[in-house]
Structure 1
Amino acid sequence: MQIQAFTMKLKPGFEEEYKKRHDEIWPELQSLLNESGIKHYSIFLDKETGTLFAFQTLEENHTTEAIPQNPIVKKWWAFMADIMETNADNSPIETSLQEVFQLQK
């Protein structure tokens, strides 16, 4: 299983709206993520800084490389652009994180 972790940044005052939009995630976006091999995807918020920490696991032999080119994802990015820090193409500004420790049973 592959693990990916990254941070994004929420604009101040949009904590509840961000959660609401994700609580109502579009079924077609959820299907796309599942079909892309994402088994688990969690996002955590640091309310003091607006930093979002995202963690996802992918099934073996899957990658997320094609996801950004999908029209559904581009539509989601445009939908979320007003409440997040984004790039010129509306994609969220992401910082990949390097795994430095893992405890497994």
Structure 2
Amino acid sequence: MERKAWMIKLKPEKIAEYKKLHANAWPAILKQISDCNIRNYSIYLREPENILFGIYEYHGTNFEADMARMGNDAETRRWWAVTDPCQEPLQSAGPGEWWVPMEEVFHLD
């Protein structure tokens, strides 16, 4: 098992919409996340900075393949088409980065 953490900005005018979408996440999306070996997935919002922080456990053996499978899923792409316009990459994001990875510097079980 490997923990992963990511950050992105949430557009202020999209906060209510984003919260509503995730309060009613589509069952097919939840299934796809699980099918791609992701467990214990949470997204947190920090206001007033409007930073989203996502953290999950990856329980698979090939993260890149699982993420490619997720990205190729039609329902996932449809979900991203409604959630992505709510977000904007951090200023420090590299080329092609959307959610930016974070480094774990401490953990206690």
TM bin, normalised by shorter chain, reads 0.7 to 0.9
1:94 — aligned with what?
A: 99
TM-score w.r.t. length of structure 1: 0.83
TM-score w.r.t. length of structure 2: 0.81
Structure 1 residue 20: deviation in Å?
A: 0.6
Structure 1 residue 50: deviation in Å?
A: 0.9
Residues matched between the structures, number: 100
Query: Residues 44-97 of structure 1: CA distance to partner in whole angstroms, max 9, x if unpaired?
Result: 0011111100001121425242222222221111112332226xxxx9821100
1:82 matched to 2:81 = no
Does structure 2 retain, via aligned residues, the 8 Å contact 1:37–1:62?
Answer: no
SS in 2 for 1:18: helix
Higher helix share: 2
The runs of 5 or more residues in structure 1 that have no matched partner are: none
Q: For the residues of structure 1 that align with 2:61 and 2:7, how far apart are their CA atoms?
A: 24
1:29 — aligned with what?
A: 29
**Letter of the structure 2 residue corresponding to residue 49 of structure 1:** E
* Runs of 4+ with deviation above 3 angstroms: none
Could you say what the CA RMSD is over the residues aligned between the two structures, in angstroms?
Answer: 1.9
Percent identity for Structure 1 against Structure 2: 29
Does structure 2 retain, via aligned residues, the 8 Å contact 1:7–1:95?
Answer: yes
Q: For the residues of structure 1 that align with 2:73 and 2:19, how far apart are their CA atoms?
A: 23
Q: For the residues of structure 1 that align with 2:3 and 2:47, how far apart are their CA atoms?
A: 24
**Letter of the structure 2 residue corresponding to residue 97 of structure 1:** M
Does structure 1 retain, via aligned residues, the 8 Å contact 2:36–2:67?
Answer: no
1:65 — aligned with what?
A: 67
SS in 2 for 1:13: helix
Q: For the residues of structure 2 that align with 1:70 and 1:92, how far apart are their CA atoms?
A: 19
SS in 1 for 2:67: coil
